C-alpha cells in the first residue's frame, strides 16, 4: 500500500466535503459563516471534527432524505447512545468507512464491480450492524432484570410508597451498572422535570422496545386512570412475567433439536459413517483386489 496515495486521498476527501458545504451554505448570513469558521478553527480532536463535518450542509441535506435522521436517532436511542453520538456523528463515521473501503480497494487495484458494490455496502452498514447488536444485547439484559425490578416495585408500593418514590428507592439500591439502570435514571430525570407519569412511562416503553415494558406501562396508566389498586396488579403481572419467561425458555429448548440437525448432518454424521463404514470399505477393496 503506497503511503503517498493515502496522504493524497485523505485531504481530497475533506476538501470535497468543505466544497460541498460551501456550495450548500452560500446563501446563509455572514454571521453563520463566521461561526462555522470559528468552530473549524477550534476543532482540536477527532470528535469535534466529526461533529463539524456531521453538521455541514451536505450531511444535513443527506439526513433529510426519507426520514434518515429519525431512523438513525432511533437506532442510537435503542443502543443507549454509545460514545455520545448523535445522528450527524453516526452518518459521518458511516461515510468515513465507505471512503476507507474505497481507498483500500483502489490501492489494492481491485477492478471487479461486484466487489466494489459489496465492499461499499458492507462498510456503510457496518455501524448499523454494531448498533443493532448492541441494542439486542441491551434488550436481553433488560428482559432478564425486569421481573426482579417489578417484584421490588410491587413490594414497595404495597408498603405505602408512591410509584415514583418506589422506583427511586430501587434505583438507589442498584449497585451494578446496566441497561435497565440507565433507563430508570432517564425516567427519574424526566419525572424531576415535571413531565406527567403517562408521558414518562410511554417514553420509557418506547426507549426499551420491550413488549413487557409496554405492557407494564399500559398497566400502570390504566391503574391511574381507573383507580384500581396498583400493588396487586404489579404482583400479578410479575408472576405472569415469570411464567412467560419459563414458556420462552421451553420454546427455545424445543427449537434446539431442529437448529442442531443441519450442523450434525454436515459435521458429525460423516465422521460417524467414516468410522463405522471405513473398515468395511477397506476390507471390501482388499478382497476386490
Helix H or strand E segment including 143: helix 126-158
Distance CA 203, CA 214 (A): 10
| CA dist 73 → 48, 239, 282 (Å) | 19, 34, 65
pLDDT at 1: 47
For 237, what's the count of Cα atoms within 13 Å in the CB-facing half-sphere? 27
SS3 109: coil
pLDDT at 254: 87
pTM of the predicted model over 0.85: no
Distance CA 134, CA 141 (A): 11
Tens-of-pLDDT digits for all 289 residues of the chain? Answer: 455 555 545 545 554 554 455 455 544 444 444 444 444 444 345 566 666 666 666 666 777 777 788 888 888 988 888 887 888 888 888 888 888 888 888 888 888 888 888 988 898 888 899 999 999 999 989 988 888 888 889 889 888 888 889 999 999 888 777 888 999 999 999 988 888 888 999 999 999 888 888 988 998 998 888 878 888 888 888 888 888 888 888 888 888 888 888 888 888 888 888 888 888 878 877 776 6
pLDDT at 80: 86
pLDDT at 188: 92
Buried b (16+ CB within 10 A) or exposed e, 88-101: bbbbbbbbebbbeb
As given in the structure block, the three cell numbers for residue 41 are 478553527
pLDDT at 56: 62
Domains and CATH numbers, the chain: 3-94 (no CATH), 133-245 (1.20.81)
The sign of the CA dihedral 261, 266, 270, 272 is negative
Distance CA 76, CA 128 (A): 9
pLDDT at 53: 63
Distance, C-alpha 274 to centroid of its chain: 45
Helices (H) and strands (E) in the chain, counts: 14, 0
Please identify which residue in the block is written with the cell numbers 427511586. 168
pLDDT at 158: 87
Distance CA 141, CA 228 (A): 31
Distance CA 223, CA 217 (A): 10
pLDDT at 274: 83
The sign of the CA dihedral 67, 69, 72, 76 is negative
Amino acid at each position: 500500500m503506497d503511503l503517498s496515495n493515502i496522504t493524497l486521498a485523505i485531504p481530497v476527501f475533506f476538501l470535497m466535503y468543505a466544497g460541498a458545504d460551501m456550495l450548500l451554505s452560500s446563501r446563509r448570513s455572514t454571521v453563520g459563516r463566521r461561526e462555522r469558521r470559528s468552530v473549524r478553527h477550534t476543532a482540536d480532536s477527532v470528535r469535534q471534527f466529526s461533529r463539524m463535518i456531521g453538521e455541514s450542509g451536505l450531511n444535513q441535506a443527506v439526513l433529510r432524505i426519507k426520514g434518515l435522521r429519525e431512523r438513525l436517532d432511533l437506532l442510537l436511542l435503542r443502543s443507549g447512545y454509545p460514545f455520545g453520538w448523535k445522528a450527524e456523528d453516526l452518518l459521518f463515521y458511516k461515510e468515513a468507512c465507505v471512503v476507507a473501503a474505497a481507498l483500500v480497494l483502489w490501492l489494492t487495484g481491485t477492478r471487479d464491480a461486484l466487489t466494489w458494490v459489496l465492499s461499499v455496502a458492507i462498510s456503510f452498514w457496518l455501524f448499523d450492524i454494531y448498533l443493532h447488536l448492541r441494542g439486542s444485547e441491551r434488550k436481553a439484559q433488560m428482559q432478564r432484570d425486569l421481573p426482579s425490578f417489578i417484584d421490588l416495585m410491587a413490594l414497595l408500593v404495597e408498603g405505602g410508597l408512591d410509584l415514583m418514590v418506589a422506583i427511586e428507592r430501587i434505583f438507589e439500591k442498584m449497585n451494578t451498572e446496566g441497561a435497565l439502570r440507565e433507563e430508570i435514571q432517564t425516567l427519574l430525570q424526566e419525572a424531576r422535570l415535571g413531565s406527567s407519569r403517562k408521558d414518562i412511562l410511554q417514553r420509557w416503553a418506547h426507549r426499551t422496545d420491550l413488549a413487557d415494558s409496554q405492557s407494564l406501562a399500559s398497566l400502570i396508566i390504566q391503574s391511574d386512570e381507573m383507580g384500581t389498586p396498583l400493588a396487586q396488579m404489579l404482583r400479578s403481572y410479575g408472576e405472569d412475567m415469570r411464567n412467560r419467561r419459563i414458556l420462552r425458555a421451553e420454546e427455545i429448548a424445543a427449537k434446539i433439536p431442529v437448529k442442531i440437525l443441519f450442523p450434525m448432518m454436515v459435521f458429525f454424521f460423516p465422521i460417524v459413517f467414516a468410522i463405522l463404514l471405513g473398515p468395511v470399505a477397506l476390507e471390501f477393496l482388499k478382497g476386490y483386489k
